[in-house]
Amino acid sequence: MVKKTINLLPRTSRILETVGEQIKLARLRRKFSSEIVAERAGISRPTLLSIEKGQPTVSIGHYLNVLKVMGLEKDFLLLAKDDELGRKLQDAQLKTKDRAPKRK
């Protein structure tokens, strides 16, 4: 299998690393071994370790499965919940396109 290379901005990488660290801390607080969490999430242990390192090549579905195992899946619903910029644009009644422009 060919390894994927995903280039992220440094700030974005740090955010993903923080998410991974928070997932690891949540697992440790619950005293779950990495083996048990990986098995219950239906992923391999190396994939779980990649999640805990904040690797961008792991699918978001795997992140969600790990959160579900720990009872934190509702935290996933908080992503982009408070869209301050979007609300300001909406309040200003600026016209926005329904979809993004097509790539050439």
User: What are the tens digits of pLDDT across the range 50-97?
Assistant: 999 999 999 999 999 999 999 999 988 888 788 888 888 778 876 656
Residue 7: per-residue pLDDT? 85
Contact 56, 6 (CB under 8 A): yes
Across the range 29-51, mean pLDDT stands at: 96
pLDDT for residue 42 is more than 90: yes
Q: Residue 1 domain-assigned?
A: no
- Number of structural domains the chain divides into: 1
Q: Is 22 exposed, middle or buried (0-12, 13-18, 19+ CB in 10 A)?
A: middle
Residue 59 CA to residue 47 CA, distance in Å, equals: 10
Within a domain: residue 100? no
- Residue 95, pLDDT score: 63
Task: Measure the CA angle with vertex 25, ends 78 and 9; round to 5°.
Answer: 60
**Do the domain assignments include residue 103?**
no
**Is 81 inside any structural domain?**
yes
Q: What is the pLDDT of residue 96?
A: 59
73: CATH: 1.10.260.40
**Model confidence pTM above 0.85:** no
Q: Does a structural domain hold residue 66?
A: yes
Residue 62 lies in a domain: yes
The tokens describing 26, both together, are 């949540």
Let me know the angle formed at the C-alpha of 85 by 84 and 90, rounded to the nearest 5 degrees. Answer: 100
Identify whether 57 is part of a domain: yes
Report residue 5 as tokens.
């290379």
Residue 2 has pLDDT above 90, yes or no: no
